[in-house]
Amino acid sequence: MPTVAEPELGPQTAPSAGDPANDWLCAWCQNRVANEKDRFGYDGKDEFTFANPEGIRFVIITFSRTLGCQEAGEPTLEHTWFPGYAWSYCQCDHCGQHLGWYYTGNCEFTGLIKARIVRSLCIRN
């Protein structure tokens, strides 16, 4: 398991609103779930690759906050990828698809599975 430092969070602001060019969407239902401006990093990284106990690999992007998501399950430290941070499931609040994990510890953040989210397509006239 990789060593992960504390997050590099900037000043806390309200989640970005109405910024389609920077939105991340649920790949299944296109519900807005995050914004690019809310990404943050550990040791200068905001994308990580981990494997669960069954060997399934996930590439996750870390966000300081999400929109259009809901927490499911009780937080647990079992098999956590971020030492000292308990995880619970993060689901799309529109279609219920599992999108990643919420983490709670010294701070709270979310790791969204890169293959289950897509960048919005902003078409300008």
Q: If you ran DSSP here, which 8-state letter would residue 16 be given?
A: P
CB within 8 A of 61, min separation 6: which ones? 24, 39, 46, 47, 111, 112, 114, 117
pLDDT in tens, 75-114: 999 999 999 999 999 999 999 999 999 999 999 999 999 9
Q: If you search the block for the tokens 């401006």, which residue do you land on?
A: 37
pLDDT at 11: 38
* pTM of the full structure: 0.83
Q: Which numeric CATH code is attached to 23-119?
A: 2.170.150.20
